[in-house]
Amino acid sequence: MDNIEKHIKQHRKEFDVDFPNKNKLWDNIEQNIGTTKKVIPLWRNRWVQFAAAASIAGIITVFMLKTQPQQHTNTICSIDGVSKDFCMQVNDYESNIQQKLSTINTNEVSIPKEVENEVTLDSPMKVVLLNELKKNPDNPKIKDAILKYYKAKLELIQRIEEVLKKQDKTINNETDNSTVI
């Protein structure tokens, strides 16, 4: 072995370069190899379970606060005393949720009925939270609860979107496989 050969072998790693498009290439490969994914029934999904639990909790809360007059859902920004920052955060969540819902609808995929009520922007839970906010527009706990409400909704929609995509992909794969046969 000559000196240059030794030199190269000693510094072997330094000759390697980074692979910039590693993830992009994987996407292309994945599309061409027909991988399998475990399809979890929707009702076993923990987000759906969470949605169901949230739904039950919401109904109970509504009944408990029955004595209070039911008020029509209003935008949070129109409540006196609500800060601009909080208003913007809520607006961001609302527009994100609306956008995701319209994307799902334009793809001609229907949201399962079991969670339909949970993904819409208005719900009994929101009415309760708005009422509380009107009473205490600066209360951080109420604001936090409202943001968590939107966050949970958004996460649920994203999860549903993923499940629907997986189902769609599985159907496509099955169609492709049957075409090959």
Residues making contact with other proteins (CB under 8 A): 2-9, 11-12, 14-19, 21-22, 25-26, 28-30, 32-37
* Least distance CB 10 / other proteins (angstroms): 8
* Least distance CB 18 / other proteins (angstroms): 7
CB 117 within 8 A of CB 54: no
**Burial degree of 87 (CB within 10 A; 0-12, 13-18, 19+):** middle
CB 149 within 8 A of CB 54: no
| Matching residue, tokens 């949720």 | 97
Sign of the torsion angle spanned by Cα atoms 132, 137, 138, 140: positive
Between 17 and 78, CB nearer to other proteins: 17
Between 4 and 181, CB nearer to other proteins: 4
* Least distance CB 44 / other proteins (angstroms): 19
Between 71 and 170, CB nearer to other proteins: 170
Residue 80 has, within 13 A of its CA and on its CB side, a CA count of 1
* Least distance CB 25 / other proteins (angstroms): 6
Between 32 and 78, CB nearer to other proteins: 32
